[in-house]
Amino acid sequence: MAKIIDDETIENVCILAKLSLNEEAKEKAKEDMQKMLDYVEKLDELDTKGVEPLSHIFGDQNVFREDVVTNGDNKEAMLANAPKAKEGQYQVPKTIG
Question: What are the pLDDT digits (tens) for 12-24?
Answer: 999 999 999 999 9
Which three-class secondary structure string do you get for the chain?
Answer: CCCCCCHHHHHHHHHHHCCCCCHHHHHHHHHHHHHHHHHHHHHHCCCCCCCCCCCCCCCCCCCCCCCCCCCCCCHHHHHHCCCCEECCEECCCCCCC
Give the model's pLDDT for residue 1: 59
Considering the entire predicted model, what is its pTM?
0.49
Which residues constitute the domain of residue 13?
Answer: 7-44
In a domain, 25, yes or no: yes
In a domain, 13, yes or no: yes
In a domain, 24, yes or no: yes
How would you write the pLDDT of the chain (97 residues) with one tens digit per residue?
A: 568 889 999 999 999 999 999 999 999 999 999 999 999 999 888 998 998 888 778 777 777 888 888 887 888 888 888 899 999 889 998 888 7
The tally of domains found in the chain comes to 1
In a domain, 29, yes or no: yes
